[in-house]
């Protein structure tokens, strides 16, 4: 992904961590551009990689979750998503774990659909978006104390209506959903 001979790459003159908390690891960097100009205070957010999943049941229903998001102050319909933990043997295993914990759905056929960044200017991490077809309800939810998540099954028509009215606001989730619908010619 990196281009080592990148003619536009910035040179880091100084780098210091402002915070190293688990959900807030921030570096302040003094950088120099190829044209010689400098930015003395460029902020970089270090997060672990993230995963999300378009999970579709055998009855062709999309498994979505609804939860509160404190940045926007808004409870939103979303794809199931979470963090790729360092201990996870693969990104797919991270995504399978998140789907099972948040919704109780599992099994099915999995593939990586797309790899995206929430903001390549400020974030070091990527979000890996999976497609899981023929998933089944195989357990109850297993939520953490700080999670308040309800599960919702949507038909393709309901999902398209939700997307069209900007009901899925998280770009890293809207992108793989539109991609899936476009590539499978599911938009009427």
Query: Mapping DSSP to helix (H, G, I), strand (E, B) and coil, where does residue 48 land?
Result: coil
State the nearest-atom distance from the C-beta of 107 to a second copy, in Å.
Answer: 27
Residue 30 vs 137, nearer CB to a second copy: 30
Q: Where does this chain bind a second copy (CB under 8 A)?
A: 1-3, 6-10, 18-19, 21, 23-24, 26, 29, 31, 33-35, 37, 39, 41-45, 66-76, 114-124, 126-127, 145-146, 148, 163, 166, 169-172, 174-175, 178-179, 181-183, 185, 187
Query: Mapping DSSP to helix (H, G, I), strand (E, B) and coil, where does residue 134 land?
Result: strand
Quickly count: other Cβ atoms within 10 Å of residue 135's Cβ: 23
State the nearest-atom distance from the C-beta of 10 to a second copy, in Å.
Answer: 5
Closest by CA to 22, choosing from 48, 42, 44, is 48
Residue 106 vs 160, nearer CB to a second copy: 160
Q: Which residues pair with 17 in a beta bridge?
A: 27
Residue 99 vs 126, nearer CB to a second copy: 126
Q: Which residues pair with 82 in a beta bridge?
A: 51
Closest by CA to 50, choosing from 78, 20, 80, is 80
């Amino acid at each position: 992904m990196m281009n080592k001979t990148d003619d536009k790459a910035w040179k880091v003159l100084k780098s210091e961590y402002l915070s190293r908390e688990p959900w807030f690891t921030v570096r302040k960097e003094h950088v120099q551009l190829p044209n010689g100009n400098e930015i003395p205070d460029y902020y970089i957010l270090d997060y672990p990689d993230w995963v999300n999943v378009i999970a579709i049941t055998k009855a062709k229903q999309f498994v979505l979750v609804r939860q509160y998001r404190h940045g926007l102050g808004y409870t939103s319909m979303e794809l199931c998503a979470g963090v790729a933990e360092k201990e996870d043997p693969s990104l797919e295993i991270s995504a399978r774990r998140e789907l099972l914990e948040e919704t109780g759905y599992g099994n099915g056929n999995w593939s990586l659909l797309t790899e995206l960044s929430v903001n390549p200017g400020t974030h070091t991490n990527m979000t890996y978006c999976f497609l899981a077809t023929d998933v089944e309800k195989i357990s109850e939810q297993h939520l953490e104390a700080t999670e308040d998540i309800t599960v919702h099954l949507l038909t393709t028509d309901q999902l398209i209506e939700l997307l069209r009215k900007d009901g899925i606001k998280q770009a890293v989730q809207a992108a793989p959903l539109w991609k899936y619908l476009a590539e499978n010619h599911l938009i009427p």
